[in-house]
Structure 1
């Protein structure tokens, strides 16, 4: 019997049953005391001189003795029971929804507490098992790709040494370029996998100081990087944000030779724009550039550097911070990367 009422159905049914029984018991009790009065006794009439009987004056019944009070109580009690029952039904769904949202941002988010009615415990247990399996699969995939990428570096390094024995200078240069591209792809893959495995805690960060530092470092290296705007500190994953900004700035420098970083702060969010005046990207290709190893033809290809992981790393870093990254046209020509980061 106890197991039956430990289910969501049992709790809701019991709640409504108790509310209905209490409402009816009160109604019966009320009408028992304030119901229709019995007929008056004979002595309650006074004989008039003309021989007629006149009833004695009776005290008026109180206003609360009518049916309005018990009916109002029944109505209110049923409304409260329905409200609490709906809350009882929606609470496990809200907990599951919040856990799914945390999981979409961080695979290492804490598991659901397996408490409450039987259905809620089963749902929490299933969700925790799913989270564990996803985490194991991602970790296994990362280990496998990392091992393959790492092990390939050794034969590629040997090939670079053996290139010195080739007498054809032109062929040697072409093969060295191909090997450098392959090694660059392996390094980028390892960096990408490291970004995926990293579970960084959030800290308050002076984003304005970070952007100023990145701009000044680039200027010291002779690069054209400008900075404007102000903002207050933001709670972020510092390494993830730095990685994202570095990739966006490097992307702008690679294809346009310049970059301009603008900060636009508000109460709800911080918007960071990385602007260039390069060739830009067609609107129908902007989502595709966030795919791993995707490269556009023309100016944005392997010959200009990169292996197609920079934008992927940047997008995933922003999403781990709860924001989103999009690409827009720069007025006058070029590409603008818009990073939206929520506050709170």
Structure 2
């Protein structure tokens, strides 16, 4: 049997385990500290209470049972009269056993002995050891007293004992000490762990914002040595990336400038020649080359230098739709009355323009819907064109990829429109996906975080 087959049954258990494991670093660190602490406290409490009720609790119960047994023995020896009253007074004063003799020959009905009550079990065991007469007791009717009835030849002896005689104050001292120290250790752990996790959160936020093209000016390494090392590595990486992007953009700008110069001369020379089919074809070729240079440069440069602003998504999409309609495109728009989103307006407008132009190029009718849902903002562009095969829906986002392999600008463009649009969407923390439109064409969905 293969290793994959052996691992398959463990997958549901692994998923079940992950459901109960915290995902955050602070929660996991606290779990590492709190879980052993709770286990130690539970074991300590179990051992303490077992020893306490086994030794101290038994001794206290034996003391109460012994005092009652002494009264029973004394009642059988002493006659009724002053001696009996003196015995009851001394018992109440010295032993805190408040006794009286009832002239009856039947024991009262009392609550049954609870198997879950350590007091009931211990008191019943010790009374059975010390008394040789029928008895009953009630430890629940009065929360401050325990009453014991013993049937003797003279009647029924009723002995009432304070509950505190059967409990040791060490229980409460132990509980206060255990809970107090645990809470104190937990508070100290939370304080120091929070201070250790905060720099990691700031590093994560700075990295996320940098991925979206937003610069965090006040970010600096702090925290533990390992966290500071990671922060310094991030700052160095950020500077290297910026330097590489700047060098690439400057190089492409220079190449674009160098190529535009001979193209401009060619355009001027064509303007001086008589109009003919040849000159018109050459003029179209030059325009196509200039358009390709502009697309290449825009793709390489991106829109990272633009600052983010709060804009109305419906208005921004409306401007793109109006521009397409002015060019004769059949575009319908459904947009919310108000949907404010923090974006780089020019960059997002360029991405939307590329999506609309792509839909207009392949379809006769285009429907656009913008709005907000549980996942954030979205803009859906549907057309009635031929669509894109499922197996090629990711490939069309690759730079210079075109479904039309003829490289004809009129039918396929340069092959950078969707690439630029997805790069802009992802720089905002969103994405662009493709699907089948209800009318059979292509549905393009641009999503932005809410």
Conserved? CA contact 1:279–1:334, under 8 Å:
yes
Per the alignment, residue 320 of structure 2 pairs with 214
Q: 1:175 to 1:257 in 2, by over 3 A?
A: same
Q: How many Å separate the matches in 1 of 2:289 and 2:385?
A: 27
Q: How many Å separate the matches in 2 of 1:65 and 1:166?
A: 107
Per the alignment, residue 250 of structure 1 pairs with 357
Q: 1:65 to 1:327 in 2, by over 3 A?
A: closer
**Which one of the candidate residues 238, 252, 266 is aligned to 2:345?**
238
Per the alignment, residue 395 of structure 2 pairs with 288
Q: Within the alignment, does 1:92 sit opposite 2:199 as a pair?
A: yes
TM-score by length of 2: 0.57
Alignment of 1:250-329 (within 5 A): 250-266=357-373, 268-297=375-404, 301-304=408-411, 306-329=413-436
Per the alignment, residue 114 of structure 1 pairs with 221
Q: 1:304 to 1:96 in 2, by over 3 A?
A: same
Unaligned 5+ segments in structure 1 are 1-11, 21-35, 37-48
Q: 1:121 to 1:217 in 2, by over 3 A?
A: closer
Report the alpha carbon displacement of residue 170 of structure 1 after superposing the two structures with TM. Answer: 7.1
Q: 1:89 to 1:153 in 2, by over 3 A?
A: same
Per the alignment, residue 337 of structure 1 pairs with 444
Report the alpha carbon displacement of residue 261 of structure 1 after superposing the two structures with TM. Answer: 0.9
Aligned residues: 303
Per the alignment, residue 224 of structure 1 pairs with 330
Q: How many Å separate the matches in 2 of 1:132 and 1:141?
A: 14
Per the alignment, residue 263 of structure 2 pairs with 156
Q: 1:129 to 1:217 in 2, by over 3 A?
A: closer
Report the alpha carbon displacement of residue 120 of structure 1 after superposing the two structures with TM. Answer: 3.0
Q: How many Å separate the matches in 2 of 1:188 and 1:162?
A: 25
Q: 1:262 to 1:301 in 2, by over 3 A?
A: farther
Alignment of 1:3-82 (within 5 A): 57=95, 62=169, 66-82=173-189
Coordinate RMSD, CA, aligned: 4.0
Q: How many Å separate the matches in 1 of 2:250 and 2:438?
A: 44
Report the alpha carbon displacement of residue 206 of structure 1 after superposing the two structures with TM. Answer: 2.3
Report the alpha carbon displacement of residue 157 of structure 1 after superposing the two structures with TM. Answer: 3.1
Report the alpha carbon displacement of residue 340 of structure 1 after superposing the two structures with TM. Answer: 1.3
Stretch of structure 1 that moved more, 170-179 or 66-75 = 170-179
Q: 1:230 to 1:196 in 2, by over 3 A?
A: closer
Q: 1:148 to 1:106 in 2, by over 3 A?
A: same
The higher-RCO structure (CA 8 Å, 6+ apart) is 1
Structure 1, residues 202-258: CA drift from partner, whole Å, max 9, x if none?
Answer: 22x222233334333433332211112424232222212221211111111112233
Q: How many Å separate the matches in 2 of 1:306 and 1:223?
A: 17
Give secondary structure in 1 for the equivalent of 2:303: helix
TM-score by length of 1: 0.72
Conserved? CA contact 1:231–1:264, under 8 Å:
no
Give secondary structure in 2 for the equivalent of 1:158: helix
In our comparison, the structure showing a higher alpha carbon Rg is: 2
Structure 1, residues 63-108: CA drift from partner, whole Å, max 9, x if none?
Answer: 6664332233333333334444544443333222222211211163
Per the alignment, residue 181 of structure 1 pairs with 288
Q: Within the alignment, does 1:147 sit opposite 2:254 as a pair?
A: yes
Report the alpha carbon displacement of residue 294 of structure 1 after superposing the two structures with TM. Answer: 2.0
Stretch of structure 1 that moved more, 186-195 or 58-67 = 58-67
Structure 1, residues 129-184: CA drift from partner, whole Å, max 9, x if none?
Answer: 221111111111111111111211112333455668999x7776665554433222
Q: How many Å separate the matches in 1 of 2:231 and 2:319?
A: 45
Structure 1, residues 181-212: CA drift from partner, whole Å, max 9, x if none?
Answer: 32221011233344334322222x22223333
Q: How many Å separate the matches in 2 of 1:334 and 1:275?
A: 7
Q: How many Å separate the matches in 2 of 1:197 and 1:67?
A: 63
Q: How many Å separate the matches in 2 of 1:296 and 1:283?
A: 13
